[in-house]
Amino acid sequence: MKRSALLLLLAVAFAAGFYKAAQRPPATVFAVVPPPATNAEPALMRSDFASSRLHVQTHAASLIELKDGRIRAFWFSGSREGARDVEIHSAVFDPASGLWGAEQKVADRARTEQALQRYVAKLGNPVPARAADGSLWLYYVTVSLGGWAGSSITAMRSTDEGRTWDAQRRLVTSPFLNISSLVRNGLVPYADGTLAFPVYHEFISKFGELLRLGPQGRVLDKQRLAPGGAGTLQPVLLVQSAQDAIALMRHAGPPPHRAVSVATHDAGQRWSAPRISPLRNPDSAISAVVLADGRLLAVLNDMEEGRDALSLMISADSGASWKTVYQLEDDRGLPKTEAAWLSHMQGRLLASDARVAVLPQAQRAAYVDSVRQEACTPGGCRTEYSYPFLLQAKNGDFHVVYTWNRTFIKHVTFTPAWLAQQLERAP
């Protein structure tokens, strides 16, 4: 009986492999996106909070530029990561006014269950994308059984820039149970209108993958970015030319705790062997973009352990070496006792968003208490700045969103002139 079952599985695997090879779409190249417009804005950097709900946990933010130049953010929010009340939320930033609009719910567990006609235990990690027809897609992780390793990807489409959405659908990434595909970083366009979608696998072994999506969101092809057991997660795809790209990945394996990189010179048909990057990585997410001059700009926790600091870093040699440009956050060495921690964090809170600083005392106290509730236990308090997402808009400005102590989604925006100024000061 066991032998028959094994032979059946082998036959199915062979048939699936043969079908994939026969159905593989024609080779294409990456779309080379025009460089951002020359920005004459002075050296400016400012921060605020994209999220506004208090006494909830927020995490895993992402960004996309809308057709009118505004920036839409997505994240998940609930009582805790993996809880049944977690929802996908969104808000829009208007660069002209410098203000975020109201936070809104775009998806929840019940609505997802109803659309997919299957049980959904939890959801998370939203990632937006722009399709060739101009529509906006949102991909997020859903789990029916088990932990994140049992995830699949859910997709939904909007034709009005995220104000309303079509019903959710399940992305089929594997003929075997269709589980353990997760998302974190943004999609990249191919020249033929298809999309390169960096995803990752966590069931039994951990490794990055690259999907190719057709115009209607169907998976056309899949390439593994690293071998099973490499401990690579959450790839960010950095396109350097029509044929050349680098994928930087979070490292969930044994020491040394460094990010892992792979490269392609045929638009993702084949990938190099994984290489240990100089970037320190405490098993935490990385985000990066390619600048107009070819340099790589990254945001990450450049640390061996913990997520107490978040660094803006740059590489001029395709990731072979990096230098720190600016510390977006740095709470290394901060006292962990609640009184000292809260005294420090109140100042950081007010500095992070000028709108909070002018609130009445009772409302400011509610913000502080929201942070305390999430970050402090009887054993002390912790800080966490993690899961960054970096975007350069068409006007040249940069936008970063990241998890701020699991309490808020913090947004930092800066001009190219500010970045140039920091590069002049960097050692």
The pLDDT tens digits for 124-163 are: 999 999 999 999 999 999 998 888 888 899 999 999 999 9
What number is the average pLDDT over the span 112-119? Answer: 95
335: its two tokens = 């006292």
- The reported pLDDT for the residue numbered 14 is 44
Query: Could you give the percent of the chain with pLDDT greater than 90?
Result: 79
Q: How confident is the model at residue 122 (pLDDT cuts 50, 70, 90)?
A: very high
Which has the minimum average pLDDT: 16-30, 149-163, 267-281, 397-411? 16-30
What number is the average pLDDT over the span 84-109? Answer: 97
pLDDT of residue 174 exceeding 70: yes
Whole-number mean pLDDT of the chain? 91
- The reported pLDDT for the residue numbered 273 is 94
Residue bearing the bigger pLDDT, 343 or 139: 139
- The reported pLDDT for the residue numbered 40 is 83
Q: How confident is the model at residue 51 (pLDDT cuts 50, 70, 90)?
A: very high
Please classify residue 133 by burial: count the beta carbons closer than 10 Å to its beta carbon, then call 0-12 exposed, 13-18 middle and 19+ buried: exposed
pLDDT of residue 164 exceeding 50: yes
Closest CA relative to residue 49, chosen from 103, 104, 124: 103
- The reported pLDDT for the residue numbered 401 is 98
Under 8 Å CB-to-CB from 109, ≥6 apart: which residues? Answer: 84, 85, 86, 87, 120, 121, 122, 123
